[in-house]
Structure 1
Amino acid sequence: MRKVRITVEGRVQGVGFRYSTKMVADELGITGVVRNEMDGSVSMEACGEDNAMERFIQRVKESPSPAGKVSNVKVEDDPSIKERKKFIAN
């Protein structure tokens, strides 16, 4: 089980990015939460199997939202992230 904290910058608010990210997470069996931040970025905590997590991170980097444009992604492993039962878009 891999647990990561992801921060995404670019055109990621107001373009369906969180909803699209949730759809990808549900498809891959990733649990966690995604939320908009005050600085215009999107942050998430995600938990999942290693292979699924690699695919999830790659899809986030490519922007799951067709209207979104990702300019920077920061991924940090964090074993202290709380496991959730599903993926929530806040």
Structure 2
Amino acid sequence: MSEIVEIIDTLESRLQKLFNKIDQLEQTSAQLKEELQKATTVIQQQSKDMDVLKKQYESLKITNSLLGSEENKRDTKLKINSLIREIDYCIAQLSD
């Protein structure tokens, strides 16, 4: 009979350790999910910032070309021609 009691005690001890390990893993999982959410938010913000900086860079390139810089003159001419075509299209639409 004492063997059965020992087996039951050992089993209870192992089950308690198992439940403790499960609780610990659930806590770790929750922490990792929170860290992942924070990292995702940071990545999204940095992506938005990068898009804004790209647009500013393009504007600066065009401004530089308008001020006489030879580096981006072709791009600026193409952009101006594109804008002129859009304006002509709008005028034509308004004339109808």
TM-score by length of 2: 0.20
**Greater share of residues in helix:** 2
User: Which structure shows the higher strand fraction?
Assistant: 1
Which one has the largest radius of gyration?
2
How does the TM-score come out when normalised to structure 1? Answer: 0.21
**Greater relative contact order, per chain length (Cα 8 Å cut-off, separation 6+):** 1
